[in-house]
Amino acid sequence: MLKALFLTMLTLALVKSQDTEETITYTQCTDGYEWDPVRQQCKDIDECDIVPDACKGGMKCVNHYGGYLCLPKTAQIIVNNEQPQQE
C-alpha cells in the first residue's frame, strides 16, 4: 500500500512538472560584458572608452574580451602572427 501511494505521488509530480514549461532567459553577463538586447547575447564592453583614466602614468589602454590591459606607450601588439602594430 505504501509503495502504491509513493508511485501515485511520483506520477503526479512528474505530470505537474511537465505541464508548466517556462521560458528561461538570461540577461545577466559576467564582468567585462553587457547584455545586447538586439543580438540577445552578451557583448564585450570597451572599458578604454567608458572608464575615465583607466590607465595611469602614461600607460595606454588596450581593450580585450572581458577586460583591458594597461601597457607602456612603446609596447607593440602582435595580432594573428602578423607584423607588430605600433599604437
Write the CATH number for 52: 2.10.25
Rounded distance between C-alpha atoms, residue 87 and residue 81, angstroms: 17
Is residue 28 assigned to a domain? no
Q: How many domains, the chain?
A: 1
Residue for grid cell 602614468:
57
Residue-wise pLDDT tens digits, 52-73:
889 999 899 999 999 999 999 9
Is residue 60 assigned to a domain? yes
CA distances to 17, 43, 45 from 63, rounded to whole Å, are 45, 13, 8
Domain of residue 77: give its range. 46-87
Is residue 78 assigned to a domain? yes
Is residue 76 assigned to a domain? yes
Contact 63, 46 (CB under 8 A): yes
Is residue 73 assigned to a domain? yes
C-alpha gyration radius of the chain: 26
Q: Given this model, what pLDDT does residue 63 score?
A: 93
Is residue 17 assigned to a domain? no
Residue-wise pLDDT tens digits, 36-48:
999 999 999 999 9
